[in-house]
Amino acid sequence: MISRRKLIGSIGLGAGGLLLSGCDRLDGSPAFRGLLRSSEGLTMRAQRLVTDRTALAREFSEADMSPVFRSNGTAMPGTDAYRAHLASGFRDWRLSVDGLVDRPMLLSIEQIRAMPVRTQITRHDCVEGWSAIGKWHGVPLKLLLDAARLRGAARYIVFHCADRFGSSPYYESIDLVDALHPQTILAWGMNGAVLTVPHGAPLRLRVERQLGYKHAKYVERIEAVASLAPVYGGKGGYWEDVSDYEWYAGI
């Protein structure tokens, strides 16, 4: 009986081992990864099919806010240019809005702060699994894009950032469904104060219906494009390019 139990046990372990090494081998196969990846498009289309594309993310009250809102990713961009901007209080810093727009713009942080402000208390969800609730102050992205007169061919908005991972710049992108959404803002303030460096000073994206890595920090250039393929690695974002994270991070 014991030997039979042992036999069954080792068969179980063997099958488990085979399953696991099989999964790792499949994981290394580009064809299989492509198959898994195809579910991303299915998920995005299904979510947008069954839900209201303009639905607002829940906004919370001050009492619901996280006591401490941790930062993630870059805590201090390492370039000389950024250090110089920080030292001068971003006096000479400019946000460039360009690409497929009729009126490219260069805006100072004072000009951006003078635009209509939207304040929202929302939940930030990291892809790792944690959540934090904070208050954000910023200009709706739609106002900037309207002022720059987006061209008809524009399909994506790319956010170029000041922080570098090795030699690669951080960047992210969203489509127009999210870019024109009322809660999608370029935030210059957080929790009633000016945005701090770990949270992306002087300007960061809030795209409330997607995961944290889409919320690009240290944004210095906004580019309207027709396709993401020619931009850096072609997958629409830094983490998408280097680690195969989903471009659509709505789940």
Partner 1 sequence: MASAQPAVSGPAETRPLLVNRHRLGTRIWHWVNALTVFVMLMSGLMIFNAHPRLYWGQYGANFDRPWLSIGSDGTHGFVEIGDRRIPTTGVLGQWRGDDGTVQRRAFPGWATIPSRYSLSGARRWHLAFAWLLAVPLLAYLTASLLNGHVRRDLLPTRDEARPSHVWHDIVEHARLRFPRGEAALRYNVLQKFAYLGVILLLLPLLVLTGLTMSPGLDAAWPWLLDLFGGRQSARSIHFICAMLILLFIVVHLLMVLLAGPVNEIGSMITGRFRVPPEREDAP
Told to check if 205 binds partner 1 by CB under 8 A, we report no
Spatial distance between the Cα atoms of 210 and 37, rounded to a whole number of angstroms: 18
Query: Strand pairing of 131-140 and 204-206?
Result: unpaired
CB of 153 to partner 1, least distance (A): 26
How far apart are the C-alpha atoms of 139 and 185, rounded to whole Å?
5
Choose between 61 and 102: whose C-beta lies nearer to partner 1. 61
Assess 130 for contact with partner 1 (CB under 8 A). Answer: yes
SS3 state at 239: helix
**Measured from the CB atom, is 44 or 101 closer to partner 1?**
44
SS3 79: coil
Distance CA 138, CA 115 (A): 9
Would you give the binding string for partner 1 spanning residues 206-225, x where CB under 8 A is met?
A: --xxxx--------------
And the tokens for 117?
A: 């402000």
Alpha carbons 186 and 171: distance in angstroms, whole number: 14
Q: Residues 140 to 169: which contact partner 1 by CB under 8 A?
A: none
Query: For residue 213, what is the DSSP state?
Result: G
Amino acid (one-letter) located at 234: G
Distance separating the N- and C-terminal Cα atoms of the chain: 48
Residue of the chain from 132, 162, 222, 224 that contacts partner 1 (CB under 8 A)? 132
Tokens of 153: 């061919």
- Whether 134 contacts 121, CB under 8 Å: yes
User: Any contact of residue 42 with partner 1 (CB under 8 A)?
Assistant: yes
Residue closer to partner 1 by CB (options 44, 157) is: 44
Q: Does 16 bind partner 1 (CB under 8 A)?
A: yes
Pick the binder of partner 1 from 117, 127, 194, 226 (CB under 8 A). Answer: 127
- Contact (Cβ atoms closer than 8 angstroms) between residue 75 and residue 141: no
Q: Is 170 in the site for partner 1 (CB under 8 A)?
A: no
Give exposure, 71-108, as e/b (b: 16+ Cβ within 10 Å): ebbbeebeeeebeebbeeebeebbbebebbbeeebebe
Span near partner 1 by CB under 8 A; candidates 43-51, 93-101, 108-116, 145-153: 43-51
Q: Site map for partner 1, 63-82, x if CB under 8 A?
A: -x-xxxxx------------
**Contacts (CB under 8 A) with partner 1, residues 19-38:** 19-20, 23-24, 27, 33, 35-38
The contact set with partner 1 (CB under 8 A) reads 8, 16-17, 19-20, 23-24, 27, 33, 35-40, 42-43, 47, 50-52, 55-58, 60, 64, 66-70, 123, 125-133, 208-211, 239, 243-246, 250-251
